[in-house]
Amino acid sequence: MQKILIATHNAGKLREFSSMFARTPYELVSLSDVGIDVDVDETGVTYAENATLKTETYARLSGLPTLADDSGLEVDGLGGEPGVRSARYAGENASDDDRIAFLLQKLNNIPKEMWTARFRCVIALTRPDAPVELYEGRCEGVITDRPRGASGFGYDPLFYIPDMDRTMAELSFDEKNRVSHRGRASQSVIAALRDRDWKV
């Protein structure tokens, strides 16, 4: 089975990617599986730039085909914030609860009709010495005024999806993988690999 390195230390992302690739002819391996403990500074100003930085660095270090993503929450009433700073929005060492509280504080004086939002994800895929390929997924929703649900991670408990009538954190694992920004981007990656019989 051909190996693809998933370039993240985030356990939630690893679990999601592993589930989505479970029925493919690829074996996903983590950074810890290959003994890499290097962190890549996300200095890009777009999701694509950050994902590309990570996939190029880890492909070079590992010698393996590498998949990396960068994703974020964009709230219309905040001019698209937190965006690429989603993980660091409330500070470098903030917890998910800290980030949720900080976001609600920022929205305190914003009219509710401007609480529309989207999750966006860009996946960068490359092999050593090969061009980077980019795939994007998004999920539209609305920010709720209090967290709901115990699944997922990050801002999931605040992100209400009207078509599902639930927050992202109230969805089952399989439901989330079908409709989430990361799930949709991953589906595009898998389709591209299948169409081209992508070889390592």
Q: What is the pLDDT of residue 193?
A: 86
Q: What is the pLDDT of residue 199?
A: 56
Cα distance between residue 103 and residue 35, in whole Å: 35
Q: Could you say which of 69, 70, 145, 163 is catalytic? A: 70
Q: Look up the pTM and report it.
A: 0.92
Cα distance between residue 5 and residue 63, in whole Å: 9
172 token code pair: 């089952």
Alpha helices in the chain (DSSP H): 11-20, 47-62, 96-106, 173-179, 181-196
188 token code pair: 């595009």
- How many folded domains does the chain comprise? 1
Other C-beta atoms lying within 10 Å of the C-beta of residue 174: 10
Residue 70 known to be catalytic? yes
Q: What is the pLDDT of residue 6?
A: 96
95 token code pair: 């917890």
Q: What is the pLDDT of residue 125?
A: 96
Q: At 175, is the secondary structure helix, strand, or coil?
A: helix
Q: What is the pLDDT of residue 200?
A: 47
Q: Which domain holds residue 164?
A: 2-196
Q: What is the pLDDT of residue 127?
A: 85
Cα distance between residue 183 and residue 173, in whole Å: 11
Enter the DSSP assignment of 82: B
Closest CA relative to residue 97, chosen from 155, 151, 141, 149: 155
With contact defined as beta carbons under 8 Å apart, do 90 and 102 qualify? yes
Cα distance between residue 46 and residue 50, in whole Å: 6
Q: At 199, is the secondary structure helix, strand, or coil?
A: coil
Closest CA relative to residue 73, chosen from 188, 186, 181: 181
Task: Indicate which CATH number applies to the domain containing 121.
Answer: 3.90.950.10
- Could you report the average pLDDT of every consecutive run of 10 residues in the chain (200 residues)? 89 89 92 94 95 96 96 98 96 94 97 98 91 97 97 94 97 93 95 72
Q: What is the pLDDT of residue 168?
A: 97
Cα distance between residue 8 and residue 50, in whole Å: 12
